[in-house]
Structures are given as C-alpha cells and as structure tokens.
C-alpha cells in the first residue's frame, strides 16, 4: 500500500474521499483507527449538546469537489431556492441530520470499508522511503488525523458532567465556559425549564465561524503564513478565545431569560456559584484538551524525530506537511486540530479538506 491515514474520524473521511477522487485506488490506501463509522465520535458529541444546526455553511461538506455544496443539495431535494438565497448572504447552516446523511453517502460512495483497518496506531517512524506505523509498512505517504486528544475537565470537579457527554438538566444548572458548546447549553437548559448560571472568565467573541472569515481565503492564509513563529503562536492563542455566532436566535432567548432572572453571569468558579446560589448541577462546556503534548502519538513523533514545535503546536509547512520528514519521495502530513500551524481553522471540515487536497498533490508529484 502506498498511502496511510492514521485516524478514523471526519477529517480522515474527508482525506479518504479526496484521495479516491484523485484516482488513488482503495488497495493503495490503508485507514487505521478505532471507528468503522467515521461520524461516530462527532455524532455522539452533537447528540450530547442537542445540536441541531451546523456552525459551518454550504461548503462545510465532506465531498472532495467544492460543487455542489450542501445548500445546492438541499435546494434540489426540497425543490426550493431558499437554501441558495440563504447561502448567498452567509445565513445558510445545514441541519445536523442533513450533514450526517451526506457523510454516510460520501462514506458509501468512496469505498471506505475496503481500506479501513480497526487498529489504533501508537507510533509513526520515518524510515528509508517512507514511514512505519507500529512497525508495519513502510508507507510512502502518511496523513495523521487523530482528532481532539480528549475532553478538557478542570480538576477538583468530580461530580461535574462534560457537555459532550450524555446528560440531562437539573432545575438549577451552572455551565462553565463561553464558547459555542456553552451557548448551546445555555439555550438547552433554559428550554428544559432550568435556571442557569453562566460561569465564564471572559466575554465570548461573536463571529459566525470558528475563525474570522478572511482566514479561510488564500490572501488571509498567505498573511498568516508570513508571520514569524512567535507571532503565529500568539495569533493562534488569540483565535482560541471562546466564540459563538451573532444573531437573534441566540440573543432573544438569552435576553428574555436574563430579564426573568433565569440566567445569571458569574465571573468566578463553580465553588463560588455554589456558595452564592446554592446547590447546582455543574456542566463543563470547556471543550477539549489543547496541544500536541496531550496526543500520545504526536508527542512521541515530535520527541523521536526532534521536530520543531512552538508552544502547543507542531511547526508545519503551509501545505500541512512536516518539513523535516517530507521530501521528494515521502510525505508526512497532519490534518485536524493538530494542523492549526498551517490552517488556523484546521478542526473544521474546510480545514480537513485543505490538508487532504495538499496531501493528494504531494502524492501526485511523487508518482
């Protein structure tokens, strides 16, 4: 086999579909990971926070070609131009059900099962002409897309439940965090009839997408890639500020609940909230652990090959490859959240496809 994808989530499915679209046969690709269904981890998290709509827009789909987007597909399916009009004004957000249905179509059409191997890879090593995965191989081209390294759970809160774990809502709830998951949980708990205390360290940024829209463009990315390492790390830390979209769908129910005394904001800790408001169910909308050091495979890769890293990020070339381990005959790429050094929104579908297309171009050049 010529290519390997380490990981079996949405970023891996996007990469696999891109390789198949580029003419790589299933027999030349091995996909290693724990999930035969690449949507399973994301599906479970979305169900836990009762997510109904995607934050992404029409282009946030897994098919290798940009056209048709999800707005076009929905417009044809419903026989109405409404999704297209919404997309033109950046107000189209596909439903979670529509996205998952589309993901299943991509999975079936690409032949994912022919290449999938139910195996967790713990070690990647560079060898002559390629890479060994746990001693197997070698593979000339490897894309690592291991996803988020785990849920972020602050110490000292053993009774708290994470927002991305299955849970219900008590009559009185404290929600820790201020990003997209937290905002979704505010609305969920209020709709369930709960009183909510929002515990946050800082005010969230209101923006439609995970990062500012220019960073999805060639010009914006070029400016980002020109930043010196220290400045790039600083920029990525700034972009990690909690955020959720603007709009009346969020603001009206929150403003109404605040005026009714059912929503309060506390810049403190869950312990302070308990002392001030009494017994509360604590829900951690604190996202994921951040940084390659929390991913055992990536940490081992950096240590074994003395790779360049800055703070929590592995230094990558603009095409998402690891420069020290990529040359004219082999490629090592990193996709998903660990690829932010190349693409700030690497943990989005757009970011997964950015890395996947660059990976395919590398393979084509070395044929």
In a domain, 23, yes or no: yes
Q: 229, 260, 284 — which closes off a domain?
A: 284
Give yes or no: residues 273 and 293 share one domain: no
Give yes or no: residues 184 and 166 share one domain: yes
Residue numbers of the chain with a pLDDT score lower than 50: none
Compute the distance between CA of residue 133 and CA of residue 318 in angstroms, rounded to an integer: 24
Number of domains in the chain: 2
- Structure confidence at residue 8 (pLDDT): 94
Give yes or no: residues 136 and 10 share one domain: yes
Give yes or no: residues 293 and 280 share one domain: no
Give yes or no: residues 128 and 23 share one domain: yes
Compute the distance between CA of residue 289 and CA of residue 25 in angstroms, rounded to an integer: 35
Q: What is the CATH number of the domain that holds 7?
A: 3.50.50.60
- The encoded tokens of residue 130 equal 């390629």
- Structure confidence at residue 92 (pLDDT): 80
**pLDDT digit string (tens) for 170-218?**
999 999 999 999 999 999 999 999 999 999 998 999 999 999 999 999 9
In a domain, 233, yes or no: no
- The encoded tokens of residue 118 equal 């139910």
Give yes or no: residues 359 and 308 share one domain: yes
Give yes or no: residues 106 and 137 share one domain: yes
Using the structure block, give the residue that is written with the tokens 């600083």: 234
- Structure confidence at residue 230 (pLDDT): 96
Q: What is the CATH number of the domain that holds 198?
A: 3.50.50
Answer yes or no: are the C-beta atoms of 273 and 174 closer than 8 Å.
Answer: yes
Mean pLDDT of the chain: 93
Give yes or no: residues 78 and 120 share one domain: yes
- Structure confidence at residue 1 (pLDDT): 60
Number of H helices, E strands in the chain: 13, 17
Give yes or no: residues 278 and 293 share one domain: no
Q: 262, 284, 306 — which closes off a domain?
A: 284
Give yes or no: residues 122 and 20 share one domain: yes
In a domain, 120, yes or no: yes
pTM of the model: 0.92
Compute the distance between CA of residue 310 and CA of residue 230 in angstroms, rounded to an integer: 8
Query: What is the residue range of 269's domain?
Result: 161-204+242-284
């Amino acid at each position: 086999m010529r290519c390997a994808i380490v990981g079996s989530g949405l970023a891996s499915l996007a990469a696999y579909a891109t390789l198949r679209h580029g003419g790589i046969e299933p027999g030349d690709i091995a996909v290693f990971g724990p999930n035969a269904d690449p949507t399973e981890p994301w599906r479970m998290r979305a169900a836990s926070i009762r997510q109904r709509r995607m934050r992404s827009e029409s282009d946030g789909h897994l098919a290798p070609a940009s056209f048709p987007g999800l707005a076009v597909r929905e417009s044809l399916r419903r026989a109405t131009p409404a999704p297209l009009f919404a997309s033109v004004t950046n107000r189209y957000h596909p439903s979670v059900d529509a996205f998952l249905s589309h993901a299943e179509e991509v999975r079936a059409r690409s032949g994912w099962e022919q290449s999938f191997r139910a195996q967790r890879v713990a070690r990647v090593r560079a060898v002559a002409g390629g890479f060994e995965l746990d001693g197997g191989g070698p593979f000339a081209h490897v894309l690592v897309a291991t996803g988020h390294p785990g849920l972020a759970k602050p110490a000292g809160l053993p009774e708290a439940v994470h927002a991305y774990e299955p849970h219900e809502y008590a009559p009185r709830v404290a929600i820790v965090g201020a990003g997209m998951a937290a905002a979704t949980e505010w609305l969920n708990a209020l709709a369930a009839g709960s009183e909510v205390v929002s515990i946050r360290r800082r005010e969230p940024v209101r923006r439609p997408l995970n990062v500012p829209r220019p960073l999805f463009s060639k010009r914006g990315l070029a400016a980002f890639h020109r930043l010196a390492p220290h400045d790039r790390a600083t920029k990525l830390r700034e972009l990690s500020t909690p955020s959720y979209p603007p709009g009346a769908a969020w603001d009206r129910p929150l403003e109404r609940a605040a005026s009714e005394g059912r929503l309060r904001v506390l810049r403190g800790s869950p312990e302070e909230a308990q002392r001030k408001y009494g017994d509360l169910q604590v829900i951690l909308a604190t996202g994921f652990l951040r940084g390659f050091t929390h991913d055992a495979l990536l940490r081992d890769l950096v240590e074994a090959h003395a790779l360049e890293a800055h703070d929590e990020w592995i230094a990558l070339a603009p095409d998402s490859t690891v420069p020290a381990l990529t040359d004219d005959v082999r490629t090592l790429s990193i996709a998903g959240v660990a690829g932010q050094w190349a693409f700030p929104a690497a943990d989005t579908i757009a970011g997964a496809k950015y890395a996947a297309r660059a990976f395919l171009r590398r393979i084509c050049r070395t044929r």
